[in-house]
Amino acid sequence: MYRQRQLATALQNALAGFPAVLVTGPRQSGKTTFLRHEAGEQLDYVSFDDPLERDFAAVDPAGFLRRFADRPVILDEIQYVPELFSHLKLRIDADPGRCGRWLLTGSQQFGLMRDVSESLAGRVGILELPPFSYTEFPRSSLGETLWNGGYPIPALHPDRRDLWLRSYIATYIERDVRQIRNIPDLRTFNQFLNLAATRHGQEFHTADLARELGMTQPTVKSWGGVLEASYIAYFLPPWFRNYGKRVVKSSKFYFYDSALVTLLTRQPDAAAALAGQMGGPLLEGWVVTEAVKVFMALGRKPDLYFWRSHDGLEVDLLIVIDGKLQAVEIKLTATPGAGHVEPLNRFLAVAGDEANGQGLLVCRTEKQRALPNGHVALPWQSFPEWLQARLENSGLAAGKVSLLAGTQIRAKNS
């Protein structure tokens, strides 16, 4: 059964405005299913997971494209055949007024985006499709939400969860990791992946990880880039008034999908995961990645940060809305009080006019509640809808944005 994705509106706008549309995202996030349901029925389809199709396109790209004549086509996992991009450019330039003919998917960010930018700049609309957001697939409890995650198969079929997740990790390491980076020792990379999961919600310190793994810091840094390039992990940058400091300081590290974290940290069940030491980081990561998904659904680059004071006080998430910083604290508590908003108070004093004067505490409260100093406590399940409404009201709706090649390429974690 197909579930409507929030990216559908942005896709229709892109199809009407660009000769080619690229939908990126992690493997198995539903990119092909999404395009087949939303882009119309009269489409040819080719998957470059098929070695015969991959070889045909690489050896004879012009002949490969001729076979489709004037029909629209989905070219799935196009990162396998970078030779096609220059030939696609020639065909687009021969008929520049025809939009929505070439629909591309890819499961990697940086290498793929480099090829797209070099060959198809100004000719392609770029969209990102992550796993299900909470708005697309709500659950009855926080534990169930974190345990099953957002990938379509375990979300729709919880009985397949464990086998699917283990198979996903094994396939990811064997296929995507080898393609993105030439890593000869996949066993050590698997150890890195497991160790990185224990850092979910923490700053990504390459020195600490390198010491524990017995690897060099440049190697660990490049492996973090592999996780980011394949949409396994998201790096949340720190906020400073000085932009240069944002670049050089450590980002916070999150897996996009909480189910992968629970698998890699060997949580026995949903209740134990929520009650144990990973409970807070799991909720924090869920809120941060839900914010990322809301931006993606609107065809926007996420404009998100965190803040930490010199004495260690931290605001978990800052969201830029209408040019103002919205401060968001994230706590597991079901009984929010004055002590929970102290980081918000401190940040607002530092940020001044750059911030929205009302902070937000996302927690397990049953209903929205007023807090001291004008702050608000919001139930965790209400956060995605709250943020979507705020962004749409600020003029960032999908119908009001421009999806230009290059504008959505995020820099690697530095």
DSSP character at residue 172:
I
Residue 290 lies in a domain: no
Instruction: Write down the pTM of the prediction.
Output: 0.93
Please list the pLDDT of the chain residue by residue as tens digits (414 residues): 789 999 999 999 999 999 999 999 999 999 999 999 999 878 999 999 999 999 999 999 999 999 999 899 999 999 999 999 999 999 999 999 999 999 999 988 777 888 898 899 999 999 999 999 999 999 999 999 999 999 999 999 999 999 999 999 999 988 888 888 878 888 999 999 999 999 999 999 999 999 999 999 999 999 999 999 999 999 999 998 765 555 558 899 999 999 999 999 999 999 999 999 999 999 999 999 999 999 999 999 999 999 998 888 899 999 999 999 999 999 999 999 999 999 999 999 999 999 999 999 999 999 999 999 999 999 999 999 999 999 999 864 444 444 433 333 333 333
CA 266, chain centre distance (Å): 23
Task: Identify residue 42 by its one-letter amino acid code.
Answer: Q
How many Cβ atoms from other residues are within 10 Å of residue 67's Cβ?
Answer: 11
Residue 412 lies in a domain: no
For the packed helices 206-213 and 217-229, what is the interaxial angle rounded to 10 degrees?
110
Residues 351 and 390 in one domain: yes
Q: Can you give the residue range of the structural domain that contains 159?
A: 142-232+241-284
Residues 106 and 55 in one domain: yes
Residue 137 lies in a domain: no
395 phi/psi in degrees, rounded to 5: 90, 15
Whole-number Å distance between alpha carbons of 223 and 228: 9
Residues 273 and 324 in one domain: no
Residues 248 and 168 in one domain: yes
Residue 293 lies in a domain: no
Residues 21, 26, 28, 32, Cα dihedral to 10°: 0
Three-state DSSP at 26 gives coil
